[in-house]
Amino acid sequence: MNTIIYPWQNELWERLANARQRLPHALLLRGRHGTGKFGFSLQLTRSLLCERPGADGHACGICASCGWFDQNNHPDYRLLTPEQEGGNGEDENPTVSPKSKKTQISVTQIRELASFLGLSSHRGGGLRIALIHPAETLNAASANALLKMLEEPPADAVFILVSHQPHRLLPTIVSRCQKIDMPVPDTDSALQWLSERGMRDADSWLQYAGGSPLTVLTDMEEGAKQPDKLWQALSMGARLDPFVTAPLCMAQGMEAAINALQKWVYDLISCHLTQQVRYHAQQTSALQALIKSVDFGLLLDFQHKLDEARKSATHPLNNELQLENLLLQYTQMFSTQI
Protein backbone atom coordinates (compact mmCIF):
# COMPACT_ATOMS: atom_id res chain seq x y z
CA MET A 1 0.00 0.00 0.00
CA ASN A 2 1.57 3.26 -1.18
CA THR A 3 1.62 5.62 1.82
CA ILE A 4 4.55 7.76 0.70
CA ILE A 5 5.03 11.36 1.71
CA TYR A 6 6.97 13.02 -1.12
CA PRO A 7 9.59 15.73 -0.47
CA TRP A 8 7.35 18.50 -1.80
CA GLN A 9 4.67 17.48 0.74
CA ASN A 10 6.81 17.68 3.88
CA GLU A 11 5.78 21.20 4.87
CA LEU A 12 2.09 20.40 4.47
CA TRP A 13 2.50 17.17 6.45
CA GLU A 14 4.10 19.03 9.35
CA ARG A 15 1.28 21.55 9.35
CA LEU A 16 -1.41 18.86 9.46
CA ALA A 17 0.50 16.87 12.08
CA ASN A 18 0.58 19.92 14.35
CA ALA A 19 -3.17 20.40 13.84
CA ARG A 20 -3.97 16.73 14.36
CA GLN A 21 -6.25 17.33 17.35
CA ARG A 22 -8.12 20.13 15.58
CA LEU A 23 -8.90 18.53 12.23
CA PRO A 24 -12.47 19.04 10.95
CA HIS A 25 -14.84 16.21 10.09
CA ALA A 26 -14.16 16.54 6.34
CA LEU A 27 -11.04 17.31 4.32
CA LEU A 28 -10.79 17.92 0.58
CA LEU A 29 -7.30 17.25 -0.79
CA ARG A 30 -7.36 18.89 -4.19
CA GLY A 31 -4.68 19.37 -6.79
CA ARG A 32 -3.00 18.32 -9.98
CA HIS A 33 -3.01 14.69 -11.08
CA GLY A 34 0.29 12.90 -10.60
CA THR A 35 1.58 14.81 -7.57
CA GLY A 36 0.99 12.18 -4.87
CA LYS A 37 -2.35 13.20 -3.34
CA PHE A 38 -3.60 9.66 -2.88
CA GLY A 39 -0.41 8.42 -1.22
CA PHE A 40 -0.57 11.42 1.10
CA SER A 41 -4.21 10.66 1.96
CA LEU A 42 -3.33 7.05 2.79
CA GLN A 43 -0.48 8.12 5.06
CA LEU A 44 -2.75 10.63 6.78
CA THR A 45 -5.43 7.97 7.28
CA ARG A 46 -2.88 5.49 8.63
CA SER A 47 -1.60 8.14 11.05
CA LEU A 48 -5.06 9.12 12.31
CA LEU A 49 -5.91 5.48 12.99
CA CYS A 50 -2.56 4.67 14.62
CA GLU A 51 -2.61 3.96 18.37
CA ARG A 52 0.84 5.45 19.00
CA PRO A 53 1.76 8.02 16.31
CA GLY A 54 5.21 9.59 16.51
CA ALA A 55 5.99 13.21 17.34
CA ASP A 56 6.35 13.84 13.61
CA GLY A 57 2.77 12.70 13.08
CA HIS A 58 3.66 9.50 11.23
CA ALA A 59 2.09 6.19 12.18
CA CYS A 60 4.20 3.91 14.38
CA GLY A 61 3.95 0.98 11.98
CA ILE A 62 3.90 -1.64 14.74
CA CYS A 63 0.60 -1.32 16.61
CA ALA A 64 -2.42 -3.49 15.83
CA SER A 65 -4.11 -0.63 13.99
CA CYS A 66 -1.12 -0.18 11.65
CA GLY A 67 -1.07 -3.91 11.05
CA TRP A 68 -4.74 -3.98 10.10
CA PHE A 69 -4.31 -0.97 7.83
CA ASP A 70 -1.26 -2.42 6.07
CA GLN A 71 -3.18 -5.64 5.48
CA ASN A 72 -6.08 -3.62 4.04
CA ASN A 73 -8.62 -4.88 6.59
CA HIS A 74 -8.88 -2.13 9.21
CA PRO A 75 -12.37 -2.32 10.77
CA ASP A 76 -12.62 1.48 11.21
CA TYR A 77 -11.63 2.43 7.66
CA ARG A 78 -13.41 2.41 4.32
CA LEU A 79 -11.98 3.30 0.91
CA LEU A 80 -14.51 4.20 -1.79
CA THR A 81 -13.37 4.08 -5.41
CA PRO A 82 -15.21 3.54 -8.71
CA GLU A 83 -13.66 0.08 -9.11
CA GLN A 84 -15.53 -1.35 -6.12
CA GLU A 85 -18.75 -3.26 -6.49
CA GLY A 86 -21.31 -1.98 -3.99
CA GLY A 87 -23.12 -4.62 -1.93
CA ASN A 88 -24.88 -7.12 -4.19
CA GLY A 89 -23.52 -5.43 -7.30
CA GLU A 90 -26.60 -3.30 -7.92
CA ASP A 91 -26.01 0.06 -9.48
CA GLU A 92 -28.20 2.98 -10.41
CA ASN A 93 -27.18 2.55 -14.08
CA PRO A 94 -28.65 -0.77 -15.21
CA THR A 95 -27.06 -0.49 -18.67
CA VAL A 96 -23.55 -1.01 -17.29
CA SER A 97 -22.40 -4.62 -17.41
CA PRO A 98 -21.13 -5.98 -14.06
CA LYS A 99 -17.94 -6.92 -15.89
CA SER A 100 -17.37 -3.40 -17.17
CA LYS A 101 -14.85 -1.17 -15.50
CA LYS A 102 -16.78 1.15 -13.24
CA THR A 103 -16.28 4.86 -13.71
CA GLN A 104 -18.50 6.17 -10.90
CA ILE A 105 -18.92 5.77 -7.16
CA SER A 106 -22.45 4.45 -6.77
CA VAL A 107 -25.17 5.44 -4.35
CA THR A 108 -25.10 1.84 -3.07
CA GLN A 109 -21.52 2.37 -1.92
CA ILE A 110 -22.51 5.56 -0.08
CA ARG A 111 -25.45 3.80 1.59
CA GLU A 112 -23.12 1.06 2.77
CA LEU A 113 -20.77 3.75 4.06
CA ALA A 114 -23.65 5.26 6.04
CA SER A 115 -24.32 1.87 7.62
CA PHE A 116 -20.64 1.51 8.50
CA LEU A 117 -20.51 4.96 10.10
CA GLY A 118 -23.65 4.20 12.05
CA LEU A 119 -21.69 1.64 14.07
CA SER A 120 -19.38 2.45 16.95
CA SER A 121 -15.63 2.36 16.52
CA HIS A 122 -14.06 -1.08 16.74
CA ARG A 123 -11.59 0.27 19.30
CA GLY A 124 -14.17 2.24 21.27
CA GLY A 125 -13.86 6.01 21.10
CA GLY A 126 -11.49 5.92 18.13
CA LEU A 127 -11.94 7.53 14.74
CA ARG A 128 -13.68 5.99 11.77
CA ILE A 129 -12.37 7.22 8.44
CA ALA A 130 -13.92 7.24 4.97
CA LEU A 131 -11.49 7.93 2.11
CA ILE A 132 -13.13 8.80 -1.23
CA HIS A 133 -10.91 8.76 -4.33
CA PRO A 134 -11.30 10.38 -6.75
CA ALA A 135 -14.20 12.33 -5.33
CA GLU A 136 -15.27 13.72 -8.72
CA THR A 137 -16.43 10.22 -9.70
CA LEU A 138 -19.41 10.56 -7.38
CA ASN A 139 -22.53 10.65 -9.56
CA ALA A 140 -25.57 12.79 -8.83
CA ALA A 141 -27.24 10.25 -6.56
CA SER A 142 -24.13 9.29 -4.59
CA ALA A 143 -23.02 12.93 -4.25
CA ASN A 144 -26.37 13.91 -2.75
CA ALA A 145 -26.30 10.93 -0.41
CA LEU A 146 -22.81 11.89 0.76
CA LEU A 147 -23.91 15.50 1.22
CA LYS A 148 -26.54 14.40 3.74
CA MET A 149 -23.83 12.74 5.83
CA LEU A 150 -21.58 15.80 5.62
CA GLU A 151 -24.44 18.02 6.75
CA GLU A 152 -24.96 15.88 9.88
CA PRO A 153 -21.65 14.02 10.29
CA PRO A 154 -21.55 11.04 12.64
CA ALA A 155 -19.51 11.49 15.79
CA ASP A 156 -15.82 10.61 15.54
CA ALA A 157 -16.03 10.19 11.75
CA VAL A 158 -13.58 11.82 9.34
CA PHE A 159 -14.19 12.09 5.61
CA ILE A 160 -11.15 12.53 3.36
CA LEU A 161 -11.98 13.42 -0.24
CA VAL A 162 -9.22 13.37 -2.86
CA SER A 163 -9.88 15.19 -6.13
CA HIS A 164 -8.00 15.92 -9.35
CA GLN A 165 -10.97 17.94 -10.67
CA PRO A 166 -12.66 19.65 -7.70
CA HIS A 167 -14.72 21.86 -10.03
CA ARG A 168 -16.79 18.75 -10.81
CA LEU A 169 -17.85 18.36 -7.18
CA LEU A 170 -21.10 19.74 -5.81
CA PRO A 171 -20.40 23.23 -4.40
CA THR A 172 -22.33 22.22 -1.30
CA ILE A 173 -19.95 19.29 -0.73
CA VAL A 174 -16.92 21.53 -1.21
CA SER A 175 -18.31 24.09 1.24
CA ARG A 176 -18.55 21.45 3.98
CA CYS A 177 -14.91 20.41 3.68
CA GLN A 178 -11.69 22.05 4.77
CA LYS A 179 -9.96 22.60 1.46
CA ILE A 180 -6.29 21.67 1.23
CA ASP A 181 -4.38 22.60 -1.91
CA MET A 182 -1.84 19.86 -2.50
CA PRO A 183 1.63 21.17 -3.42
CA VAL A 184 3.36 20.72 -6.77
CA PRO A 185 7.17 20.60 -6.86
CA ASP A 186 9.01 23.30 -8.78
CA THR A 187 10.61 22.18 -12.02
CA ASP A 188 14.17 21.83 -10.68
CA SER A 189 13.01 19.78 -7.67
CA ALA A 190 10.84 17.55 -9.84
CA LEU A 191 13.65 16.91 -12.32
CA GLN A 192 16.07 16.14 -9.49
CA TRP A 193 13.57 13.70 -7.97
CA LEU A 194 13.11 11.97 -11.34
CA SER A 195 16.87 11.88 -11.92
CA GLU A 196 17.36 10.16 -8.56
CA ARG A 197 15.06 7.42 -9.86
CA GLY A 198 16.99 6.93 -13.07
CA MET A 199 14.75 9.06 -15.26
CA ARG A 200 17.10 11.03 -17.55
CA ASP A 201 16.20 13.78 -20.01
CA ALA A 202 12.74 14.14 -18.47
CA ASP A 203 12.36 17.87 -19.22
CA SER A 204 9.90 17.57 -22.10
CA TRP A 205 8.03 14.77 -20.32
CA LEU A 206 7.62 16.91 -17.21
CA GLN A 207 6.37 19.84 -19.24
CA TYR A 208 3.84 17.70 -21.10
CA ALA A 209 2.67 16.23 -17.77
CA GLY A 210 1.99 19.74 -16.48
CA GLY A 211 4.73 19.47 -13.85
CA SER A 212 3.44 16.20 -12.34
CA PRO A 213 6.50 14.01 -11.64
CA LEU A 214 4.57 10.85 -10.74
CA THR A 215 2.85 10.92 -14.13
CA VAL A 216 6.26 11.19 -15.79
CA LEU A 217 7.67 8.35 -13.71
CA THR A 218 4.77 6.05 -14.58
CA ASP A 219 4.84 6.91 -18.29
CA MET A 220 8.60 6.44 -18.64
CA GLU A 221 8.62 3.20 -16.63
CA GLU A 222 5.85 1.83 -18.82
CA GLY A 223 7.71 2.79 -21.99
CA ALA A 224 5.10 5.29 -23.09
CA LYS A 225 5.85 7.51 -26.06
CA GLN A 226 4.92 11.12 -26.57
CA PRO A 227 2.41 11.65 -29.41
CA ASP A 228 4.88 13.21 -31.86
CA LYS A 229 2.89 12.11 -34.94
CA LEU A 230 -0.28 13.62 -33.52
CA TRP A 231 1.51 16.90 -32.87
CA GLN A 232 2.78 16.91 -36.45
CA ALA A 233 -0.76 16.36 -37.72
CA LEU A 234 -2.23 19.10 -35.53
CA SER A 235 0.48 21.47 -36.75
CA MET A 236 -1.07 21.21 -40.23
CA GLY A 237 -4.14 23.16 -39.14
CA ALA A 238 -6.70 23.27 -41.94
CA ARG A 239 -4.73 20.68 -43.94
CA LEU A 240 -5.09 18.01 -41.27
CA ASP A 241 -6.86 14.85 -42.51
CA PRO A 242 -9.35 13.78 -39.80
CA PHE A 243 -9.65 10.24 -41.17
CA VAL A 244 -5.89 9.70 -41.05
CA THR A 245 -5.41 11.42 -37.70
CA ALA A 246 -8.25 9.74 -35.82
CA PRO A 247 -6.44 6.35 -35.73
CA LEU A 248 -3.36 8.12 -34.30
CA CYS A 249 -5.58 9.35 -31.49
CA MET A 250 -7.26 5.99 -30.99
CA ALA A 251 -3.87 4.32 -30.57
CA GLN A 252 -3.54 6.23 -27.29
CA GLY A 253 -7.00 5.41 -26.03
CA MET A 254 -9.96 7.78 -26.05
CA GLU A 255 -9.30 9.48 -22.72
CA ALA A 256 -5.60 10.05 -23.48
CA ALA A 257 -6.49 11.31 -26.97
CA ILE A 258 -8.94 13.90 -25.64
CA ASN A 259 -6.38 14.93 -23.05
CA ALA A 260 -3.75 15.41 -25.78
CA LEU A 261 -6.15 17.55 -27.82
CA GLN A 262 -7.04 19.61 -24.74
CA LYS A 263 -3.38 20.33 -24.04
CA TRP A 264 -2.77 21.36 -27.64
CA VAL A 265 -5.77 23.69 -27.64
CA TYR A 266 -4.74 25.12 -24.25
CA ASP A 267 -1.37 26.04 -25.73
CA LEU A 268 -2.99 27.54 -28.82
CA ILE A 269 -5.10 29.79 -26.60
CA SER A 270 -2.15 30.62 -24.35
CA CYS A 271 0.06 31.37 -27.33
CA HIS A 272 -2.62 33.66 -28.76
CA LEU A 273 -3.10 35.57 -25.49
CA THR A 274 0.36 35.57 -23.90
CA GLN A 275 2.80 34.21 -26.53
CA GLN A 276 3.64 31.48 -23.98
CA VAL A 277 3.11 27.72 -24.11
CA ARG A 278 2.80 25.30 -21.22
CA TYR A 279 2.90 21.79 -22.64
CA HIS A 280 4.61 21.94 -26.05
CA ALA A 281 7.78 24.00 -25.87
CA GLN A 282 9.33 22.12 -28.79
CA GLN A 283 6.28 22.91 -30.94
CA THR A 284 6.25 26.64 -30.14
CA SER A 285 7.03 27.67 -33.74
CA ALA A 286 4.19 25.52 -35.09
CA LEU A 287 1.75 26.92 -32.54
CA GLN A 288 2.80 30.49 -33.33
CA ALA A 289 2.20 29.83 -37.02
CA LEU A 290 -1.23 28.35 -36.38
CA ILE A 291 -2.56 31.25 -34.31
CA LYS A 292 -2.05 33.58 -37.27
CA SER A 293 -4.93 31.91 -39.08
CA VAL A 294 -7.15 30.67 -36.24
CA ASP A 295 -10.62 32.03 -35.54
CA PHE A 296 -10.33 32.67 -31.80
CA GLY A 297 -14.07 32.40 -31.20
CA LEU A 298 -14.16 28.98 -32.87
CA LEU A 299 -11.08 27.99 -30.87
CA LEU A 300 -12.83 28.75 -27.58
CA ASP A 301 -15.92 26.89 -28.79
CA PHE A 302 -13.76 23.90 -29.70
CA GLN A 303 -12.20 23.94 -26.24
CA HIS A 304 -15.69 23.72 -24.74
CA LYS A 305 -16.55 20.76 -27.01
CA LEU A 306 -13.39 18.96 -25.88
CA ASP A 307 -14.39 19.53 -22.26
CA GLU A 308 -17.75 17.90 -22.99
CA ALA A 309 -16.07 15.04 -24.86
CA ARG A 310 -13.76 14.46 -21.88
CA LYS A 311 -16.76 13.79 -19.64
CA SER A 312 -17.87 10.90 -21.88
CA ALA A 313 -14.42 9.65 -22.83
CA THR A 314 -14.85 6.41 -20.87
CA HIS A 315 -18.35 5.67 -22.14
CA PRO A 316 -18.90 2.88 -24.70
CA LEU A 317 -19.47 5.20 -27.66
CA ASN A 318 -18.25 5.06 -31.26
CA ASN A 319 -14.99 6.72 -30.27
CA GLU A 320 -13.33 6.81 -33.68
CA LEU A 321 -16.35 8.49 -35.28
CA GLN A 322 -16.46 11.01 -32.43
CA LEU A 323 -12.76 11.79 -32.90
CA GLU A 324 -13.20 12.21 -36.65
CA ASN A 325 -15.96 14.76 -36.00
CA LEU A 326 -13.82 16.63 -33.47
CA LEU A 327 -10.83 16.70 -35.79
CA LEU A 328 -13.01 17.93 -38.65
CA GLN A 329 -14.16 20.79 -36.42
CA TYR A 330 -10.51 21.45 -35.59
CA THR A 331 -9.65 21.99 -39.27
CA GLN A 332 -12.57 24.40 -39.62
CA MET A 333 -11.08 26.80 -37.06
CA PHE A 334 -8.41 27.93 -39.52
CA SER A 335 -9.14 30.44 -42.25
CA THR A 336 -6.12 29.56 -44.42
CA GLN A 337 -3.87 26.59 -44.84
CA ILE A 338 -0.59 26.53 -42.97
Longest CA–CA span in the chain (Å) reads: 72
Cβ(145)–Cβ(117) below 8 Å: no
Rounded to whole angstroms, what are the CA distances from 68 to 1, 75, 86, 251? 12, 8, 22, 42
Dump pLDDT digits (tens) for 70-129.
999 999 999 999 975 443 333 333 333 344 467 899 999 999 999 999 887 877 668 999
pLDDT at 13 over 50: yes
Give the pLDDT of residue 97: 39
Residue among 208, 215, 210 nearest 194 (CA) = 215
With bands split at pLDDT 50, 70 and 90, how would you rate the model's confidence at 336? low
Task: Please give the pLDDT value at position 325.
Answer: 94
Distances (CA, A) of 318 to 186, 219, 246: 40, 27, 12
Cα separation of 197 and 160, whole Å? 30
pLDDT 10s digits, 266-298: 999 999 999 999 999 899 999 999 999 999 999
- Nearest one of 81, 41, 36, 83 to 218, comparing CA atoms: 36
Q: Give the pLDDT band of residue 312 (cuts 50, 70, 90).
A: confident
Better-scored residue on pLDDT, 268 or 4: 268
Query: What was the pLDDT predicted at 222?
Result: 82
Please count the other Cβ atoms lying within 10 Å of the Cβ belonging to residue 219: 18
pTM: 0.81
- Residue 230 pLDDT grade (very low, low, confident, very high; cuts 50, 70, 90): very high
Measure the CA–CA gap between 326 and 242, rounded to whole angstroms. 8
pLDDT band, residue 196 (cuts 50/70/90): very high
pLDDT of amino acid 299: 97
* Segment 249-272 mean pLDDT: 92
Q: What is the mean pLDDT of the chain?
A: 89
pLDDT for residue 93: 37
Residues 34-66 pLDDT 10s: 999 999 999 999 999 999 999 999 999 999 999
Q: How large is the average pLDDT for residues 176-186?
A: 96
Q: What is the pLDDT averaged over residues 191-200?
A: 91
Q: Specify the pLDDT at position 16.
A: 92
Q: Which amino acid is at 294?
A: V
Confidence (pLDDT) at 1: 57
Asked whether the beta carbons of 136 and 166 are under 8 A apart, the reply is yes
